[in-house]
Structure 1
């Protein structure tokens, strides 16, 4: 039997689906009690604190709305979310003061700015550093928290140890400059990148300085790359800055397509064990943001 779900119904129910605990030992009330929105700036709590209770804030990424950032802001706020992530195109669409005022009016924290790609090519190093430092300045002026970067699709030739070393160096240098602005840098693990598979993410994080480079863990990309995101949360807990919460379906029919595995779905419609993810966050006493992300609408007829 087919059913239709509106955008509002879908978004409004995401938090409930994400925290479902039918197969988890963590009760739902423990995941979404009033401490979900503590009256404090969680930029100071980007890693577990011994003895402290977990405090998970749920935000939503504006990417689902495409270029309609203003509509995304209205919808996300009206549904009760308290955090939002924008892509870098927000920089050309808003002046910092304007966006800061809109966020305040809608009681939203700008959790992160998706700053775009960094590159292994040494010839692009200075350009990359300048670009992402400028993006961090915009984020600072808006009053946002974190800058997110990803790396480009790997080159045709095999990835080498030198590639990990160079990219680790680059994101460390960017992280030093964003830190000077009070902005923490999060590296986004991603399919078709040096961090596509768990061992690649390990090598890249080991090649970067943990003082300046944190992990923005995308649970669906991590699972598509071959491992369990709940285990990744426990493994990288000390370095975990924030998360992308999304679900994943089966790969497409064309294995030659670089995006074949990127079958991202509404929460609860895929195969990511969401209760296990939230249980792991509670186990490490994570205090910070989990941003729900859906790259695009899988079926526009249902919205």
Structure 2
């Protein structure tokens, strides 16, 4: 299959799939999701992603209709049906199906899966960023389907000829990007926003922090500001789709380029971890 959609046991090419109009996602965006890369038919960091998926569903009292192990086996089985093993693997659970009503329906949720061909960037080419005020709600730590502010910010970035938008809160605190985490190198230290309710604690973020500690690079998980961002020695953007990108421009201003060797050490270490975990079987 070139693409694959799955809904509660049924699957097919994405453009052939349909869902009930009364799925709660249609009325309220009532669901959570997770996603990650796959290479050579091996889903990277699958256990970490599934753990986060179940944790986020639990925070919103959603009942996933399968166990963690069943979901893992399902995803691996669906991946095996694809024409290519280099994929973006996306899955979500919605609260269920029922006539539009703000209160929750009874029963378990609806499970969705989407697979499409995708490649991980090697992170060599720098990206351009814009900044925009973070007007999202105060549950950014939960990976919900309510992504309108992120969509608006992503479109602003596209129109500005940039690849991502960096959110900041009143007072100038940088939180994260529209669909990535954002970090800086300051005085040779990785500085990343704390994993509070204002950011999604990304799996790639966790790998970045862990790898920096392994490499002996200091890590500081404290808030930082727009001024810190503009003056950073390097600006790093991470996500499960792109494990380690770096910025050369923010809001039209040149940034970074002052810790190139350290940045390259981090980039190579993260990519090598990914290549090794997803290498083709001999």
**TM-score range for the pair, normalised by the shorter chain length:** under 0.3
Give the structure with the larger helix fraction. 1
Larger gyration radius, structure 1 or structure 2: 2
Give the structure with the larger strand fraction. 2
Q: TM-score, normalised to structure 2's length?
A: 0.27
